[in-house]
Structure 1
Amino acid sequence: MLAEYRQFVLPRQRGLHAEIIIIPTGELKVNIKEKNNSLKAEFDELYFHSAGKETELVCRDQLGTESVRWHLHLANDDARELAMLIESAEEEFEALMRDL
């Protein structure tokens, strides 16, 4: 069970890169390199909203409120890759837990 690392260019903010770590235990870490800004979320706090050529990744509080903790705009292809990596990490973790 290994973490996956990806780096994506943020389309709305020229020159900014998001380093994303997908941790199979259910956590996502994001570092905006140029701003030295770190963000974290549990998988179940994340939502993807597509609009045109971009997809917004939104982190909402788990407490059932609609309050947004943070959000990023990603290219659609990058968002699809990230969603697949999250799904794969969830499946890997579930398989590991079943085997225990």
Structure 2
Amino acid sequence: MLTERRQFIVPGKAGLHVDVTVNPIGELKVNVLEKDNCFTGEFEQLVFQTKGRQTELLCKNHRSSSTVKWHVCLASDDARELAKLIELAEEEYEILMRDL
């Protein structure tokens, strides 16, 4: 199980970059580099909402699915790449747990 990292540019925000870490144990870490903001969320808390060429990544609260803990905007292509990384991490974790 390997942790995957990617850097993406926030669309519409001049010069903002996010560093995203996908941990196969089910956790996502998002760091907005220029603002030194760091957010974490579990895979089951994450929701992707596409609006045209941008996709908003939302992390919802466990107790109230209508409450958003944090959100970040990504280009839709970057969001698809991130969703695929999360999917692969979940599959990898399931395979490992089955083999144990």
Give the TM-score normalised by structure 1.
Answer: 0.97
Q: In 1, distance between residues paired with 2:65 and 2:17?
A: 29
Runs of 4+ displaced beyond 6 Å: none
Match of 1:34 in 2: 34
The number of residues matched between the two structures is 100
Q: Quote how far apart the aligned CAs of 1:12 are.
A: 2.5
SS at match of 2:8: strand
1:94 maps to amino acid:
E
Q: Which residue of 1 aligns with 2:5?
A: 5
Gap regions ≥5 residues in structure 1: none
Structure 1 letter corresponding to 2:25: T
Partner of 1:23: 23
The percentage of counterpart residues that share the same residue type is 54
After superposition, give the CA deviation of every residue in 1:24-56 in whole Å (9 maximum; x if it has no partner): 000000111101110000000000000111001
- Find the counterpart in structure 1 of residue 64 from structure 2: 64
TM superposition score normalised by structure 2? 0.97
Alpha-carbon distance between aligned partners in 2 of 1:90 and 1:53, rounded to the nearest angstrom: 26
Deviation string for 1:64-95 (max 9, x for gaps)? 33100111110000000000000000000000
Q: Distance in 2 between matches of 1:18 and 1:60?
A: 19
> 1:98, CA displacement in angstroms?
0.1
Structure 2: runs of 5+ lacking an equivalent? none
